[in-house]
Amino acid sequence: MSNPSAGPVRSALVRRFLPPGAVWAAALFAAPFLNDDGATALVWGVGSAVLIALFPWALVTVLDKRGDLRRGLNRLGAPPIILGAFGAAFMVLRVVRWTDGPRALAAVVFGMIAAYALTAAVSRAARLEWADVTYAAAAVVLPVLLFLLFPGVAGAVLAAAAACVCVAAVISGRGRSAKTGAAAAVGVLAGGGVFLWLLTYSL
């Protein structure tokens, strides 16, 4: 007999081991390989993933453990991390423009910025979870990247798996409510939509 709680538990594990920062880091790492090869793409991918997705989170976490954040990271919430990430994102976009770098990377960055901007606007009326927005955007971004990077059956399988993981993460949220649906819509339309729109000009 199957355990009815096994599905939600497995889905919740996705959120635990793939936080929003790691999801965006994966997309940022993969995108440059659509425009460049080898070491060049690797430098762009690793550099942007660390600078935009991982460094702000690590910095705020360390400051919180040292007690430099008086109110504590849990009470401050995501804004310090997100603001740091988007400051780094604008830096990366400038570098991409100055050096004629990988435009697919810029598409991911703009998608992330658009998703957060719309999240911030909608949250004035109803607070949306950034994690829900991220997983919904990733359900578009990651499958497309994987399918383009690995053409054929392998790419299709990887894309389908990534989409399933992201959808599972969305539906495993604390409350399946109208807010979850709104967050998913923002992620797909803003994050995924802007990414797809810009990607058509980058390949």
Span 20-65, pLDDT tens digits: 888 999 999 999 999 998 899 999 999 999 888 776 666 556 655 6
> Does residue 119 surpass a pLDDT of 80?
yes
What pTM was computed for the model?
A: 0.81
- What does pLDDT average to over the chain? 81
Burial of 183 (0-12, 13-18, 19+ CB in 10 A): buried
Q: What share of the chain is helix, strand, coil (3-state, %, to 5)?
A: 80, 0, 20
> Does residue 77 surpass a pLDDT of 50?
no
The per-residue pLDDT for 150 is 95
DSSP character at residue 126: S
Query: What 3-state class would DSSP assign to 100?
Result: coil
Give the count of beta carbons closer than 10 Å to the beta carbon of residue 87.
12
Instruction: pLDDT band for 192, please (50, 70, 90 cuts).
Output: very high
Q: Which residues neighbour 45 within 8 Å (Cβ) at sequence distance 6 or greater?
A: 28, 29, 30, 31, 32, 33, 105
- CA 194 – CA 157 distance, rounded (Å): 24
> What is the mean predicted confidence (pLDDT) over 146-171?
94
> What is the mean predicted confidence (pLDDT) over 148-152?
94
Shortest CA distance to 166 belongs to which of 153, 181, 184? 184
> Does residue 139 surpass a pLDDT of 50?
yes
Ramachandran bin of 127, using left for φ above 0, alpha for ψ from -120 to 50, beta for the remaining angles: beta
